[in-house]
Amino acid sequence: MSINLLETVQQNLGYPALQKIDPNTQEVVLGADTPNEDRFSQAAIPAVLTAFYKYVQSDDGAAEFLQGNLNTNWLDKIFPDSRKEAVQTISSYAHQSGLDPVKKINEIASETVQVVKANLPEDGGIKEVKSFFKNQRNTILLYLPAALNMGELLHDTTLDDNTNKMEGPVSSLMHSIGSAFNNN
């Protein structure tokens, strides 16, 4: 069963629909009247999913993902050396300097774990978790605002590459070729 992880998490938590990033400007078009809650979800959901993508690419990360539960502090795990910066960046993007978004970010992370586990095969293991996130990567990156600098925070500058935000027949072909090489 193929799902859109980003949309499913967004809908399950009751956040408004996210906007795709314009590949030319690297930004999402949000008006001045866009509520801060919309800005928060636009930043936090793709940032958390991107961090999970990076986290589960190691065998240890994928194993911890499978063992984690609702009480796991995912924020510390997926942003091990940049937790404070990640929270600050998401808060700044969302114009929420007075609020502590840590609880909301952990809610997004916990929901992500639940959704992924529900969509893995019954005997799914490390390989299946890695594969699940690899298959979601391109969709997640279409929504990740460049202003968050997640590639820098997660030590993978390819995440901020604007070619990840392009769609269309040629871009889809290039993403497929890149994914084939990454799976080997």
Residue type at 88 in one-letter notation: Q
Question: In this predicted structure, what is the pLDDT of residue 167?
Answer: 46
> Is 70 exceeded by the pLDDT of residue 42?
yes
Q: pTM of whole model > 0.75?
A: yes
Provide the domain limits for residue 98.
5-182
The residue with tokens 């970010």 is: 105
SS3 content of the chain, % helix, strand, coil (to 5): 65, 0, 35
Domain count, the chain: 1
* Per-residue pLDDT tens over the stretch 69-110: 778 899 999 999 899 999 999 998 888 765 578 989 999 999
* Per-residue pLDDT tens over the stretch 105-144: 999 999 999 999 999 999 999 999 999 999 999 999 999 9
Work out the widest C-alpha separation in the chain, in whole angstroms. Answer: 47
Q: Rounded CA gap, 6 and 42, in Å?
A: 10
Q: Rounded CA gap, 22 and 55, in Å?
A: 26
Q: Rounded CA gap, 128 and 141, in Å?
A: 20
